Amino acid sequence: MDDKNLLEALVSIKPNLPKHSEIIFSFHGHRLLLGPYLADRVDKVLFLTKRGYLETFEANHQHPPLSFVVGNGVRSDLFFPLSRSEKRKQREELGFSVDNPIIIWMANSRPVKGFHLFKKVIAVLLKKYPNLQILSIGHEPDESISYPNWHQLGKVPNEKLPKYLQIGDFYFFTSLWQEGFGLSLAEAVKCGNFALASNAGGIPDVVSGCPFAELVMEPNSISSWVGTFDKLLTKKSSNTISDEEMRGWLSNWHDYQAWERNYLHALES
């Protein structure tokens, strides 16, 4: 699973494995470069998005016999949107304003996750919308951030993530590389956030058809993020979907059980 070095090691001992053994590689990146040696000996490759599979097919001269697009899944019993009243209550309990919009950013401190870009975008947005609240999760403490309405939570245990994602209004997925899927993006949207996401890697496939997300077509441009946020802010303010309808739609979107069925089907086919 998602370890090419281990894959190469297993392929080297394939002749010694029991008869009819298969080597199946579950790939979590976007574009996979195999080379003829691996392509000859790997039986199946499982991809997160169709876009990732197609770009891999285009980039390689030789391919394993079978490929499957299995997607990824998020537990809908943990990551789900709250009703308006529940959301206000949870915000109060966590010490946040119940009326001012909350923007959430969540990733580690690696430059490819775009935190430096996010800081520049927020500097512009706070001039236009000074009542915004910012909540950032997962990165190392940043002493350059001095906004009183910016809360840095640091690393949060996975089981506690939903309660913070559920109080948000907007999620910024500022990845600056070819993402395989973007699991945190799906988690945030399933908790009721309207999301802005880079048009990169497999992300367009992840949010395709989702009424609560917009792609940022020029991810390296501050103005592109600001313009997309303005658009999404208008979209959210005119949203007429009821709490029940939203929860019902999101419970089926990238659901863990659906992913599990896809995965088992690929293993058994």
In this prediction, residue 28 carries a pLDDT of: 96
* Distance from the Cα of residue 232 to its chain's centroid: 18
pLDDT digits (tens, 9 = 90+) for 147-174: 999 999 999 998 999 999 999 999 999 9
Cβ atoms within 10 Å, residue 204: 14
In this prediction, residue 240 carries a pLDDT of: 85
Q: What angle do CA 241, 246, 251 make, to 5 degrees?
A: 165
pLDDT digits (tens, 9 = 90+) for 223-248: 999 999 999 999 999 888 899 999 99
Q: How far is CA 185 from CA 26, 74, 80, 170, 189, in A?
A: 20, 10, 13, 11, 6
In this prediction, residue 61 carries a pLDDT of: 87
22-27 long-range CB contacts below 8 Å, 24 or more apart?
24/266, 24/267, 25/1, 25/64, 26/1, 26/2, 26/70, 26/263, 27/2, 27/52, 27/180
Whether the pTM exceeds 0.85: the reply is yes
DSSP state of 178: -
In this prediction, residue 215 carries a pLDDT of: 98
In this prediction, residue 96 carries a pLDDT of: 92
Instruction: Compute the average pLDDT of residues 119-123.
Output: 97
- Which domains are assigned to the chain? 4-69 (no CATH), 84-251 (3.40.50.2000)
E strand spans, the chain? 24-26, 44-47, 66-69, 102-106, 133-137, 150-154, 170-173, 194-198, 213-216
What is the average pLDDT score of the chain? Answer: 95
The more confident residue out of 64 and 103 is 103
Among 128, 137, 130, smallest CA distance to 160 is for 137
Q: Kindly tell me if the per-residue pLDDT of 62 is higher than 90.
A: no
In this prediction, residue 251 carries a pLDDT of: 96
pLDDT digits (tens, 9 = 90+) for 10-40: 999 999 999 999 999 999 999 999 988 999 9
Q: How far is CA 222 from CA 67, 119, 121, 214, 235, in A?
A: 37, 10, 6, 15, 20
